Structure 1
Amino acid sequence: MKKLIYFLSIVLVVVSCKDEPKDYVTLSGKIIDKNSDSVVVRSREFSKTIKVNADGTFADTLKVVTGVYNFFDGNESTTIYLKNGFELVVSLDTKQFDESISYTGIGAEVNNYLAARALKQEEVFDNNNLFALEKPAFDQKMNEIKSDFMALLTTTENLDSLFIEDEKKGIDGFTLYIADYYAEKQYLNTFLAKGKASPKFTDYENFKGGTTSLDDLKGKYVYVDVWATWCAPCRAEIPFLKELEKAYRGKNIQFVSVSIDKAKDHDKWKKMVADEQLEGVQLFADNDWKSQFVTDYKVSGIPRFILIDPQGNIVTPEAPRPSSEDLKTLFDELKI
């Protein structure tokens, strides 16, 4: 009898241990054509690097605060929802990163939802026809898009109530952002349409001395780079811009870089221009983001590139970046 009681006690201990939720996440998976030898799971307060084996497999445990994290493989990334107790298995092919990523295991439903939502958001952004609609048709289409996002959310099983409420707010925020983006596009396509007189800048400080105004540059095409020293994507374009300036030296085009650094970072701007040996016309805007030229062009993110013709008229308020082959195609069409 004592042996039986002892045996039952052991069984109860084992069962209770199995039922007790884990206080960590098990994260594993396989990446086809991996971009890096490691993946990184990161938030503002958390970072964990996980080794990726030669065959693309990886596995580790993470102790987390419940919430959304960024999952990086090299420069590619996606959002991932983690909660202690999850046993999540990730599968993806980097050749179609967003389209291929999928999840199995405990916690798969919420993460497959996030992957599907991200694809829908990308489809909205890539739908040029949406932003060409007249306002009534655009509003109707946005109602349909919002309903589509809500349907995806409400039909996904095993979602936390707090997560659902946050997602509803996120859907509202996304649709408002798209509406603002539509309004900006309409402004660019009307007030900043091709052939319209370009907004001007006057007496911007020139790194080489004195001041420069847009009118001083008439007679040549002007390719304007709106940037700042703190902007990583801006700095990433610098090598391509240098190559472009070298390739078009002596041609009918002037390359102008307008820094919108704040006044307190003026010396930082001068040092970077000197250290990086930046070429072209290097100017410092008179009032950072609030400079009239910047606000007239509705610059809300940088780098931003603008192309102006020799008469001072707009060619495009959103020119391709130096790193894009589309820019050279545009220059060829203009016979620069």
Structure 2
Amino acid sequence: MNKGTYLLLALAITACNKNTNRDYAIITGEISNNTASALTIVSGDSFNSKHSINISSDGHFIDTLTTDNANYSLYIDRQPLQLNVKPGDSININYDAKDIFNTVKISGKGSEISNYLFGKKQIFAKHLGSPNETFSKNEADYKALLQRIIKDQELELVNTEGIPADYVSNEKRNINYDYYNWLLRYERAHIYFTKEQDFKVSEDFLNEMNDLDYNNENDFNFSNSYKDIVALHYTDKSEKKAKQDVIANDVAFIETVSAIENETIKNKLLFDFTNKFLESSSNAKILYTLYSENSTNEENNEIIDKKYKRIAGLVAGNASPKFIDYKNHEGGTTSLDDLKGKFVYIDVWATWCGPCVKEIPSLKKVEEQYHGKNIEFVSISIDKASDFNKWKKTVTDKDLKGVQLFADNNWDSNFVKDYQIKGIPRFILIDPEGNIVETNAPRPSDSRLITLFNSLNI
């Protein structure tokens, strides 16, 4: 977009501003010392609702936002700038790309909350040191640090003029939920950074949360921290249920959440969990049935229905999706049909994937244990084509065993898409006839893998 085009659009939008009933917001800005071609803006907390805003050669950008969601994240150099935008607002953002967060200026109609959110983020940056420094503190010092942050954030909130009273009321509670969330992070993070594996927080460390109401719909809709706390609360309950009833954790979670009386909270937790884990669960049919029996949100239900129909064919006993003519590290190509007559344990991985690489020593041990048995170990890399040589070198340098293959189109390979693979590593077990045994088989580091192999007399 050149400067002339930008000015024409700006004039058009200025004219639109006279319409006080417009159902969209306007976001404009100017970036000094800019080198980027676009910004990314995300609606709410979902990267499924994002789009790019083009930046002109002279650093200007302009966009309109039409949404029911007031919360946005504008990504600047991979860092999110939180915005609160409502229909009728006209927000202007200026900054210097060489010193972004010391130069950000947010102005215009409806900019008050966004300015507060930016100030809130700066308070965190002011008080918090490195993660190691923060989480290595003892309990008293850690709480004292959080309480200083709370005090400064509350002052920032009440001192920012023009923020509606209802937002102030909700945000005061949200600040407190942020505090609770940081308390809940402490034990695990303290163990990680101090290496004190036996560390446990004091019995009274979380006493401030004893009377917390986990069924506040208003706060659930307003506060992401409260939403996280509620989700963790029901996760803890479901894990106890899983042990007590001897059922899978994912099934226990759906059953636990289904008993929540508040429809909004129940529907949101049901949807978020099922949408995330349905494709990778070995209990997909049970999860789908439980979800369908308990969710009352028709829009969410349509999404889950479509997702389940896509994976319904991926059940034990059905013919496996195939890969065809994948490049073999040893030369030539290999297809799934070439391996018929043996069980096939497939590792979908990539050289850049840390958890994938972490499984390699365990995979080697399992391969050695089952050498000469009726099973082939196949590793399929979904690295980009440009990283083909990196993959070849990694296989050689790490002396990887089994059948080492390179997928034909990384994440967009048909085999990957047919199995609905969204994250790696992913392990799949196929029987000698080419039928599915497990779409989400145990990892090599998981003792359940050997139990599974033994049950199949491999």
Partner of 1:177: 272
* TM-aligned CA deviation for residue 59 of structure 1: 3.6
Contact 1:93 1:101 in 2 (8 A): no
Aligned length: 254
* TM-aligned CA deviation for residue 93 of structure 1: 9.2
**1:276 maps to which of 398, 401, 406:** 398
In the TM superposition, what whole-angstrom CA distance separates every residue of 1:73-92 from its partner, at most 9, and x where no partner exists? 34599xxxxxxxxxxxxxx9
Structure 2 residue 133 is matched with structure 1 residue 49: yes
Listed as ranges, the matches of 1:81-96 within 5 Å are: none
* TM-aligned CA deviation for residue 128 of structure 1: 4.2
RMSD: 4.5
Contact 1:50 1:59 in 2 (8 A): no
- Secondary structure of residue in 2 paired with 1:205: strand
Q: 1:301 to 1:250 in 2, by over 3 A?
A: same
Structure 2 residue 313 is matched with structure 1 residue 191: yes
1-side partners of 2:346 and 2:455: how far apart?
A: 18
Q: 1:146 to 1:225 in 2, by over 3 A?
A: farther
Structure 2 residue 412 is matched with structure 1 residue 309: no
Q: 1:277 to 1:93 in 2, by over 3 A?
A: closer
Structure 2 residue 331 is matched with structure 1 residue 216: no
Structure 2 residue 420 is matched with structure 1 residue 286: no
1-side partners of 2:205 and 2:230: how far apart?
A: 9
| Greater relative CO, 1 or 2 (CA 8 Å, sep 6+) | 1
2-side partners of 1:182 and 1:279: how far apart?
A: 30
Partner of 2:157: none
Listed as ranges, the matches of 1:292-303 within 5 Å are: 292-303=414-425
Q: 1:122 to 1:224 in 2, by over 3 A?
A: farther
- Residue 250 of structure 1 aligns with an amino acid whose one-letter code is G
2-side partners of 1:310 and 1:317: how far apart?
A: 15
2-side partners of 1:212 and 1:242: how far apart?
A: 21
**2:190 maps to which of 58, 73, 88:** 73
- Secondary structure of residue in 2 paired with 1:73: helix
- Secondary structure of residue in 2 paired with 1:257: strand
TM-score when normalising by structure 2:
0.46
* TM-aligned CA deviation for residue 122 of structure 1: 5.2
* TM-aligned CA deviation for residue 261 of structure 1: 1.2
* TM-aligned CA deviation for residue 145 of structure 1: 3.9
TM-score when normalising by structure 1:
0.61
* TM-aligned CA deviation for residue 51 of structure 1: 7.9
2-side partners of 1:292 and 1:101: how far apart?
A: 53
Structure 2 residue 240 is matched with structure 1 residue 118: no
2-side partners of 1:229 and 1:206: how far apart?
A: 16
1-side partners of 2:273 and 2:369: how far apart?
A: 38
* TM-aligned CA deviation for residue 47 of structure 1: 3.0
In the TM superposition, what whole-angstrom CA distance separates every residue of 1:23-71 from its partner, at most 9, and x where no partner exists? 889x9xxxxxxxxxxxxx89xxx53425859xx8774575869666664
Partner of 1:225: 347
Partner of 2:328: 206
* TM-aligned CA deviation for residue 270 of structure 1: 1.6
* TM-aligned CA deviation for residue 214 of structure 1: 0.4
Contact 1:117 1:149 in 2 (8 A): no
* TM-aligned CA deviation for residue 289 of structure 1: 1.1
* TM-aligned CA deviation for residue 190 of structure 1: 3.8
2-side partners of 1:275 and 1:146: how far apart?
A: 56
- Secondary structure of residue in 1 paired with 2:275: helix
In the TM superposition, what whole-angstrom CA distance separates every residue of 1:206-237 from its partner, at most 9, and x where no partner exists? 11111110011111110000111111111111
Q: 1:182 to 1:267 in 2, by over 3 A?
A: closer
**1:147 maps to which of 253, 262, 267:** 262
In structure 1, stretches of 5+ residues that fail to align are 1-22, 28-40, 78-91, 133-137, 152-170
1-side partners of 2:426 and 2:397: how far apart?
A: 22
* TM-aligned CA deviation for residue 147 of structure 1: 2.2
Partner of 2:362: 240
2-side partners of 1:204 and 1:101: how far apart?
A: 57
Q: 1:269 to 1:119 in 2, by over 3 A?
A: farther
- Secondary structure of residue in 1 paired with 2:262: helix
2-side partners of 1:296 and 1:113: how far apart?
A: 33
- Greater share of residues in strand: 1
* TM-aligned CA deviation for residue 195 of structure 1: 1.3
Contact 2:345 2:377 in 1 (8 A): yes
Partner of 1:263: 385
